[in-house]
Structure 1
């Protein structure tokens, strides 16, 4: 059972990094630092969008419109950190 919890923690940690990379790439695209006409950048952006958008879209629908600021990645990160803490502090010690 500890192995399953380790895999869940690893997957959550990987998703945190995917969210961070997605946010940074969106800023780079918004400020025209990188160009989406580049095939490599377009492929990476499409992959990151497809991975993060199903989680971020429902949170965007619940949050009020903040203008140009998207707070949904921060909410998802906080939820992931909460899940990780619950696993580490409450579930992991009680598993044999």
Structure 2
């Protein structure tokens, strides 16, 4: 059962990495450091969007609209942190 705990923690870390990479890449694109017309940048951006958009769309349905700021990545990171805290505090169930 410890392997299940470690697999869940690994999946949360991978999800967190994808979200942080998406946030940083969106900043770099908005500040015109990266160009979406470059093939590699465009492929990475499209891949990250395809991976994260289902989760973001569900979160956006609960968040207030019209703020001019997309809070879905922030809420997703917070959800991951909450899940990690719950898993670590209940790690005894996995042993």
Taking structure 1 as the reference length, the TM-score comes to 0.91
Segments of 5+ residues of structure 2 without an aligned counterpart are: none
Aligned to 2:21: 21
> Is 2:77 the counterpart of 1:77?
yes
Report the CA distance between 1:68 and its aligned residue. Answer: 2.5
Aligned to 2:42: 42
Provide the alpha-carbon RMSD of the alignment: 1.1
- Paired residue total: 95
Within a 5 Å distance, the mapping from 1:41-60 to structure 2 comes to: 41-60=41-60
Segments of 5+ residues of structure 1 without an aligned counterpart are: none
Aligned to 1:7: 7
Aligned to 2:92: 93
Taking structure 2 as the reference length, the TM-score comes to 0.92
